[in-house]
């Protein structure tokens, strides 16, 4: 039941910019979870600090790529990727 309350609070949070702004005052995972418990209680959602922390961890785990980046991906992120289209269509006096 409490996990459902955390999930329902999160769904309300996604729709409420004022609630999001309140939660942005938290500086780390633990203060975010503590504030979520407090704000959730004000909105009628009962869940514990541990349940909020577990839900935050679950969300973060689902949003972070796992493992190492491939060399190709790392180079493209670092600006090392070139486009064959640009290479074949560049003219001496035209910007590429």
Kindly state the average pLDDT of the residues 33-53: 96
CA 56 and chain centroid, separation: 10
Q: 21-42: per-residue pLDDT in tens?
A: 999 999 999 999 999 999 999 9
Q: Does residue 65 sit within a domain?
A: no
Query: In whole angstroms, what is the distance from residue 18 CA to residue 53 CA?
Result: 21
Residue 85 in domain: no
> What is residue 71's DSSP assignment?
H
Q: Is 93 inside a domain boundary?
A: no
The token pair at 61 is 């785990």
What's the confidence (pLDDT) of residue 70? 64
The band of 62, judged by pLDDT with boundaries at 50, 70 and 90, is confident
Does the predicted TM-score (pTM) go above 0.75?
Answer: no
Q: How far apart are CA 61 and CA 56, in angstroms?
A: 9
Tell me which residue range forms the domain holding 17. Answer: 2-59
For the beta carbon of residue 93, count every other beta carbon within 10 angstroms: 5
């Amino acid at each position: 039941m409490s996990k459902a309350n955390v999930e329902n609070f999160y769904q309300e949070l996604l729709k409420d910019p004022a609630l999001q702004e309140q939660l942005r005052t938290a500086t780390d995972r633990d203060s975010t979870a503590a504030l979520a418990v407090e704000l959730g209680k004000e909105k009628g959602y009962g869940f514990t600090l541990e349940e909020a922390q577990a839900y935050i961890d679950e969300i973060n785990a689902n949003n972070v790529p796992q493992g190492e980046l491939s060399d190709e991906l790392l180079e493209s992120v670092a600006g090392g990727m070139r486009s064959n289209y640009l290479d074949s269509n560049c003219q001496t006096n035209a910007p590429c």
